[in-house]
Amino acid sequence: MKMSKLKSIYLGSVNPPIYQASTIAFDSLADLAKADKQYGRVGTETNEALALAISKLENAAKTIITSSGVSAITHSLLPLLKTGDHILVCDTAYLPTHFFCNGLLNNFGITTSYYDAKASGDDITKLIQDNTKLIFLESPSSLVYEIQELDEIVQLAKDHNIITAIDNTWAAGELFKPLDIGIDISIQSLSKYCGGHSDVLLGSISFKNEKLYSEIWDSFYQLGNHASPQDCYLAYRGLQTLATRLNAHQESALKLAKFLEARNEIKEVIYPGLDSFVQKERFEKYFKGGNGLISFTFADKISQDEIKKFVDNLQYFKIGFSWGGYESLVMYYPDCSQKISDNYGSTLVRIHVGLENVNDLEVDLTKSLENSIC
């Protein structure tokens, strides 16, 4: 007899239902006692379907779904640290990661040293103290895409008995699998490519090591965090098209990166998939491909007012933070508020290339360059 391919719990629906619950009710005390979910705050079957899918994506044993990417970062760090500990964080980490280290962690007497994302393993080793508990990585960074020599960092962390955690949002768990190279914790903002439609805030924390998972899960539960089953459903649905969407983002982005490189208004285009990318070899060592994020700077003679006009005049590229949705976005970084090397000056613009027709996007960029820059 042919085995059913359908999970009986879904009654044949392709996607998991949205189980929305605070109370979970039982027929008997015995049933309550043996249930693995006794109350909705631990997450329902919908949360679990997403956690299992992210574990598969990240090659993880366990995944915790959190209410946002930032909460995934803070709930990873807090339980593993205590007063008197020290952590190393790459200087290009997402800005709210800095806020948390400089704010709450500092208030609790946990100190942070920031290391240069381009530092060698030897340079990072020099920053290790007797009380260094954890190294927090983000590679590539999400503004000019510095890529760290992760193998070296993992090795030195193991040599010093230090935990490693990485913000893997850029790669969306698809373009890079941190747990496979020995990083202990892989964190994502699912609000970006996994959600994929700019309508969900969620985060994930993935582990190969069950002991680390239990430690973080316990404090996650103590702190009362929870992810909405509705949002978990949307992220689960988004995940089904993640690889296909990323391919499309990459293909269009590469085309537009080459287009921008050929324009004389543009000084430098920073896109990891380009031959001109300074860390091309390292990019290819770790990543399966690129995504839709491109940054570029303008020629020296172009004023900030002209750049602002260029940004405002774009039609398809909406002005907005974040990325990873189907729509194209643009943001101007006149003072490069995230720490990056000075030579990017005050002309850095980042675009997220969405899933619109790439020819329309090229026409949009062309028209805006021609109408905004004298």
Contact positions toward ligand PLP, by CB under 6 A? Answer: 68-70, 94, 138, 142, 167, 169, 189, 191-192, 201, 203, 322
Residue 41 appears among annotated catalytic residues? yes
In the bound complex, what is the minimum distance in angstroms from residue 37's beta carbon to ligand PLP?
A: 25
Q: Catalytic residue, from 91, 167, 184, 231: name it.
A: 167
Residue number closest to ligand PLP, CB atom: 69
192 included as an active-site residue: yes
Residue among 71 and 372 whose Cβ is closer to ligand PLP = 71
* Smallest distance from ligand PLP to CB 72, Å: 8
Query: Quick check: is 245 catalytic?
Result: no
Nearer to ligand PLP among residue 203 and residue 273 (C-beta): 203
3-state secondary structure 155-177: HHHHHCCCEEEEECCCCCCCCCC
Candidate list 19, 91, 94, 286, residue with the active-site label: 94
Which pair of structure tokens corresponds to residue 214?
Answer: 């239990």
- In 3D, which of 372, 371, 240 has the Cα closest to residue 307? 372
> Please, are residues 233 and 202 in contact by the beta-carbon 8 Å criterion?
no
Phi, psi of 361 (to 5 degrees): -65, -40
- How far apart are alpha carbons 310 and 334 in whole angstroms? 13
Bridge partner list, 151: none
Write down the catalytic residue from 31, 34, 39, 41.
41
Which of residues 43 and 373 has its CB atom nearest to ligand PLP in the complex? 43
Cα-to-chain-centroid distance, residue 126: 28
Closest separation between CB of residue 138 and ligand PLP, Å?
A: 6
Closer to ligand PLP by Cβ: residue 266 or 270: 270
Cα–chain-centroid distance for residue 17? Answer: 26
Q: Which of 133, 177, 192, 208 is an active site residue?
A: 192
- Element of type H or E holding 358: helix 358-372
Question: Shortest approach of ligand PLP to residue 168 CB, angstroms?
Answer: 9
User: How far is residue 339's CA from residue 69's CA, in Å, rounded to a whole number?
Assistant: 20
Task: Give just the sign of the alpha carbon dihedral 231, 238, 192, 347.
Answer: negative
The smaller minimum CB distance to ligand PLP, of residues 55 and 169, is found at 169
CB of 198 to ligand PLP, least distance (A): 11
CA distance 316 to 261: 20
**In the annotation, is 350 catalytic?**
no
Q: Which residues carry out catalysis?
A: 41, 94, 167, 192
